[in-house]
Amino acid sequence: MIEARGLSKRFHDKKRGEISAVETVSFTCQAGSIYGLLGANGAGKTTTLRMLATILEPTDGTALVFGHDIVEHPEKVRASIGFLSTATALYPRLTAQEMVEYFGRLNGLDEGTLKRRVDDIFKRLEMDSFRDRRCDKLSTGMKQKTSIARTLVHDPPVMIFDEPTLGLDIMAARTIVAFIRECRENGKTVIFSTHVMSEVEKLCDVIGIIHNGALLAEGTPAELRDKYSESDLEEIFMKVVTPHTAVEVA
């Protein structure tokens, strides 16, 4: 389970002064469900997920990830998560197998367990044909599979995906979407950010709409449709964010 409690993040910019990227965001993401964080570019999705992954430290507030406080025990949090984004690339000079093994070892797996886990994942993701190929020689799809294997090697209970399909072709994107579904079926807690409405509709059990760093609306797709009297998710999104955008322009 993920429980965000008033998460805030402010950055200092030399030209613009203090910038609030995320402002008191709170939500709960249950095990065995997918929470979709929906927002435009710059809405605060990446910053929120980076805080949950303890890559960034919150300015205020905190979150519990699989029962571990992100501020108090960041290393325990990272041992409980698999984090995948377009900014989490592979080491080009390692082979696919070495890449996955490296992260398995950093997650404290002993050599026997690591071998079993790697063999199992490579078989399941059909990666055996390129396990000894260097990552810089892999196709986009192969890279995606290797990244997935990297996040799965220590069998984390929580998965965090930051715009995982951004820039991918349809085949690679489908691999990711199928993987996210599989995580839910295996009882994992899944949170992912996107600005692609179709992905949200296909995958999410709960949707949070984030804009200008604030969580403006939250609920199941059915709840949001009822509340905003719209069937189309894109229309719901526009109804939620437009008043706040208008205020800003004025």
| Cα separation, 154 vs 105, whole angstroms | 9
Least separation, in Å, of the C-beta of 49 and other proteins?
A: 10
Establish if 117 lies at the interface with other proteins (CB under 8 A).
no
Measured CA distances, 218 to 37, 165, 240, 242 (Å): 9, 23, 10, 16
Q: Judged by CB under 8 A, how many residues of this single chain contact other proteins? A: 32
Q: Is 248 in the site for other proteins (CB under 8 A)?
A: no
Asked if residue 161 binds other proteins (CB under 8 A), the reply is: no
| Calpha distance 94→31 (Å, rounded) | 33
Question: Rule CB under 8 A: is residue 150 a binding residue for other proteins?
Answer: yes
Q: Does residue 126 bind other proteins (CB under 8 A)?
A: no
57 binds other proteins (CB under 8 A): yes
Identify the residue whose tokens are 């613009």.
Answer: 16
Would you count residue 65 as binding other proteins (CB under 8 A)? no
Which lies closer to other proteins via its Cβ, residue 46 or residue 212?
A: 46
Assess 88 for contact with other proteins (CB under 8 A): yes
The interface region with other proteins, picked from 50-58, 113-121, 179-187, 202-210 by CB under 8 A, is 50-58
Applying the rule CB under 8 A, the residues between 15 and 44 that interact with other proteins are none
Which residue's CB is nearer to other proteins, number 2 or number 81? 81
Judged on CB neighbours under 10 Å (0-12, 13-18, 19+), 45 is: buried
Helix residue ranges, H only, the chain: 45-52, 74-79, 96-106, 111-124, 140-152, 170-185, 197-203, 221-228, 233-249
Q: Of the candidates 1, 31, 71, 94, which one interacts with other proteins according to CB under 8 A?
A: 94
Category of 94 on φ-ψ map: left (φ > 0), alpha (ψ -120 to 50) or beta: beta
Binding of other proteins by 107 (CB under 8 A): yes
| Those residues with Cβ within 8 angstroms of residue 232's Cβ, 6 or more apart along the chain or in another chain | none
In angstroms, what is the minimal distance from the CB of 106 to other proteins? 5
Q: CA angle, corner 63, sides to 59 and 68, nearest 5?
A: 125
Show the tokens assigned to 207: 């949707």
Where along the sequence are the contacts to other proteins (CB under 8 A)? 11-12, 50, 53, 55-57, 75-76, 78-79, 81, 83, 85-94, 98, 102-103, 105-108, 134, 150
